[in-house]
Amino acid sequence: MKAIVLEQVEGQTQATIKQADLPAAAAGEVLVDVAWSSLNYKDALAITGKGKIIRNFPMVPGIDFAGVVKHSNDARYTAGQEVVLTGWGVGENHWGGLAEQAQVKSDWLVPLPAGMSSRSAMIIGTAGLTAMLCVMALEDAGITPESGEVVVTGASGGVGSTAVALLHALGYKVAAVTGRESTHDYLLKLGASRIMPRSEFAETRPLEKQIWAGVIDTVGGNVLAKVLAQTNYSGCVAACGLAGGFDLPTTVMPFILRNVRLQGVDSVNAPFARRTAAWARLANDLPESFYQTATTEIALEDAPKVAADFLNNAIQGRTLVKIR
Task: Give the tens place of pLDDT for each residue, 80-89.
Answer: 999 999 999 9
120 contacts: CB under 8 Å, gap ≥ 6: 291
User: How far separated are the first and last CA of the chain, in Å rounded?
Assistant: 11
Tell me the whole-structure pTM to 2 decimals: 0.95
**How many Å apart are CA 86 and CA 110, to the nearest integer?**
9
Distance set, CA 66 to CA 27, 131, 184 (Å): 21, 18, 31
List the domains of the chain with CATH numbers: 2-112+294-322 (3.90.180.10), 126-264 (3.40.50.720)
Report the residue count for the chain. 324
Nearest alpha carbon to residue 91 among 159, 24, 45, 160:
45
Per-residue model confidence (pLDDT) at position 202? 87
| Residue 55 confidence (pLDDT) above 90 | no
**How many Å apart are CA 178 and CA 286, to the nearest integer?**
21
Residue 8: left if φ>0, alpha if ψ -120 to 50, beta else—which one?
Answer: beta
pLDDT digits (tens, 9 = 90+) for 213-258: 999 999 999 999 999 999 999 999 999 999 888 999 999 999 999 9
- pLDDT exceeding 70 applies to what percent of the chain? 100
b (16+ CB within 10 A) / e for 36-55: bbbbbbbbbbbbbbeeebbe
Tell me if the bond preceding 304 is cis, omega within 30° of 0. Answer: no
| Residue 47 confidence (pLDDT) above 90 | yes
